[in-house]
Structure 1
Amino acid sequence: MKEIQDFLVGRIWLRDFTPFPEEAIEKAINQGFIAVQKGITEKLECARCLENSSEKIIPYNCAKCERICYYCRHCIRMGRVSSCTDLITWKEPLELSPYSHSFSWNGELTNLQQQASDELDESLRRNRSHLVYAVCGAGKTELLFPPLHKALSEGKRICIAAPRTDVVLELSPRLKAAFPDTVMHTLYGGAIFEEGFAQLVVATTHQLYRFQQAFDLVIVDEADAYPYSYDLALARAVTKSLKENAPIVYVSATPSKEMLKTAVNQSKIFRRFHGHPLPVPEYRSLWNYRKSFNTNKIPEKLKDWVKLRLEKNEPFMLFFPTIEMIRQAEPLFKLIDSRIEAVHSKDEDRKEKVMKLRRGEIPGVLTSSILERGVTIANVQVGIVGADEAVFEAAALIQMAGRAGRSSAFPNGEVIFFHNGISRQMDDARNLIKFYNQEGQR
C-alpha cells in the first residue's frame, strides 16, 4: 500500500495504466484510500488537462461501453482520457515532516546572484510568486539552490518544470548533485519509472497534466519558451498541480512583455556569472542560401566558417530554420567532416548526440531551435543560418546566441547571424544583447 501511496499522492492517473496490479488498486479503492472519477466530466471537460474546447473534446462511438463517448484530443499522447475512462487519485495528502536535506553545492554566488536569491527567498517566505529575469549564462539555476534547500528542509514538495525535455535533462543531474540525499524524480516522455515518494520533481510542463494539488512550490524554468508560452492548457496544468495559494516562480532570460507587466515581484540580472559581456552577434550575408542547399552546395562563407572551427578545434552549433534544410545540409557537411551530426526534434538520438558534443566526441551539430535552451557546451561557437527567417523571433535569436561564451574558461565565443537580408528581429535581438551588456556593467 505504501508504494501505491508514494506513487499516487498528488497525481491524477489513468487507472488502467498504473505500475501496480489491478487487484492492489481495487483493494485500495474499496478501503477508501483511492478516489475514482471519470476522465470527461458531465460538463465535457477533461479532468486531467482541464481542456473543454469543442474542438478538443471529441465524440466517438465507443466499443467499450457501446454508446457515444467523448475523448480529449489535447492530451491524448499521454494516454487516452474518455467519458468511460477511470482516473484515480490518492484521497489523503501526504504531510511531510521537516527534514535535514544535505546540500553539497560548493560554489559561490556573485553579488547579483546572491541579491536575486535573497529576494526570491523573501517572496517564498511571504508565499508570493516571483520572476527571475536573468540573461543566458547568469547562473539562474545556482541562485535557486539556497531557497530550494530551505524549502525542502521545511518539508515542502517542489516541482521544477520546463517546456522542453532537453532543459529537463540538463537540470536533473545538477540538482541531483546539489541535493544528493533528496528523493528526486525526473519526468518526461519516455522516462524510466522511479520508485519512492519524490519531494523534488523535475519535469516537462506536459507532465503536470498528471498532477493536482501536489506541490507547495512550482518553478517554471524557461517560462517564455514554446510550447508553454503558446499553450494555455500548460499554464492551467501548472496551476492545477499546486496546492491552494502556493506560489509560482518563473525563470527566464527572455520574458514576454506580458510576463514583465504582470510579475509584481522581480529579480533582474543582466551580467553573466563570470563577469564578461554576452557575445554580440555579427551579421554576415549569405545570399540565396536556400538555392545553394537545393542544388547540393554549401554557401562558401558558411563552409569557410565551419572549416575554421574544425581547424581551431572549436565545437560549434549551427542553427537552421527548418528540419528540411538540416536534412539537405547534413550529407554536404559530412563531406567536410563525417563526425558532424544533425540534431532536431524528430531525431530519437538527439540526447546522445548532445552528450557526444559535450564530451568532445563530435566537432559540431547542425540543429534546429530545439537546442536554443538548456544546453551548455564549453567554448562552443554559434552560427545561425537564415537568421532573417520569420521563424526566428528576437527571443529565439537571443537564446541561440546565449549558448556561446558561457564558460569562465571561454567567456567570449562567436555568434554569427548568417542572413539573406537583415530583419527587424535580428536588430531587436542584437540591440537587446547590447542593452544587457550596458546594464550589466553598472
Structure 2
Amino acid sequence: MKLTIFFLLLCSVFSGQARAQVGGPTASVRHIQSRVLKEQRTYTVYVPESAQDSLVGRQHYPVLYVLDGETQFQSTATILKQLSGQRVLPEAIIVAIHNTDRIRDLTPTHIESGLYMDRRGATTSGGGEAFTRFLQQELIPRIDSAYAPAPYRVLVGTSLGGLFVLNTLLHHPDLFQSYVAIDPSLWWDDTKLVREAGRLLAQPKFAGKTLFLPVATAFKEAGDTAAAAVRNTIERRAFLAVPDFIAELKQHPASGLRWSAKYYRTEGHNSVPLPGTYDGLRYIFSAHQRLSIDNVALLEPAVSKLSAPAMRDSLLAVCRLVSRQLDYVVRPPEPLVNRIGYSYLGRQDFAAARAFFQLNEQNYPDSFNVYDAMGDYYSALGDPKSAAQAFRKALTIYSYPETRQKLQALQAKTARKAGH
C-alpha cells in the first residue's frame, strides 16, 4: 500500500498550475503562438545582466531549457546567477517553459490507464513527440533568432519532465547537448522507455552528449523495495525502473555518452529538484570551475606564483579545456582579463598589463571596454597620442562620459604643452 501511495504522489506532482515567478529585471514572460500545438505557449526568459552592458563586448551564452517553468524557473535562475557570478558556471540564458497540459506534453506514449494513472488522467497522454516538434521547429529557432546564443543547449526536467528529458536524449539526441533528468518517471507505460534503452544506447550516436541523473530515495520504504524486488510484477518494474535504466547506461559505455547518476538519500521527489539542478549544472560545466574566483593561485596576480606570461598561458589552457568539454570556442572572460590587466597596470608592470589588454582586444574587438583600457594603459605609459587614439575608438563604440572627459583632459594637456 505504501508503494502505491508513493507512486500516486509521483504522478500528481507539479500537475497544478502556479503563477509565474519572475526574478529580477532581466527576466520577462513571453508568449509564442504554436502552430504545432495549436495553442499559445508561455515561457519565461532570463538573460544575464552582462548582455545589457554596453561597456563590454557581445557575449554568446549557452541556453538552459527548463520544463515546468512556472515552478522551476526561480530556483534555477537563482542557482545560475549565484554561481555564474562566482565564475563557477558560465553565464547562460534560461528559457523556462510553462505548462498547459503537462501530462499530454511530457509523456512519450498514450496509455488508457495505468498503475499510477487513472483513465481520466491519461486521456490526453502521449503528446511528447508533438511537444518535441514545438521545441525543435518553433521555440528554439525563436530563441536563436532573438539572442544569437552559443551553440550549446541544456534540457532540464523533473518527474514526468525527467521522463521527457530521457526520451529526448534517446530518440532526439542532437536536439540538446546536455540533459538533466531529475527523478524521472520511468515507470510510465510499464517502463517502456527503460525497455527501449538498451537497443538505443547500443548505437554510438551519443558522443559529445552529457546526462546527469539525480534520484531521490527518501521516504521509499525498505519493505516496499524488498517486496517489489522479489516479484516480476508491474509494481516491481515500476519501482526499479530508474535503477534498471542506470544499469543499461553502465552496460553501454561505447555509446559515447558522458553521464553520472547520483542518489539523494535525504531528499524526496519534491525536494530533489533544487540540489539536482545545482549538481547537474556543476557536472555539465565541470571544467568551467577552474575559472572560479576561488582559483586565486591561477587568476590573482597578487597571490599567484606564476609569471605574467605563465598566468596568461594557463588561463588560455583552461579555456581550451572548457572548449573541448563543450565543443565550441570559449574565450577568456573579458571582465576577468580586464581586471588582471589593471592589476598589473597598478603595479606598473606595463608589459604584463599590455599582454592582458591585448588578449581582450584579440577576443573582443567590438568592446568599448577594450579600447578604454588601452587608453588608460597608454596614459600610464606616458604616450598621450596613443591614449587619445584608443579613447576615440572606444567612444565610437559607446559614448561614455568618463572616457570623453579623459580624452578632453588629454587634449587640453597636449594643447598646453604645444602653447609653451
Q: Which TM-score band applies after superposition, normalised by the shorter structure?
A: under 0.3
Of Structure 1 and Structure 2, the greater helix share is in 2
- Structure having the higher Rg: 2
TM-score with structure 1 length normalisation? 0.19
Of Structure 1 and Structure 2, the greater strand share is in 1
TM-score with structure 2 length normalisation? 0.19
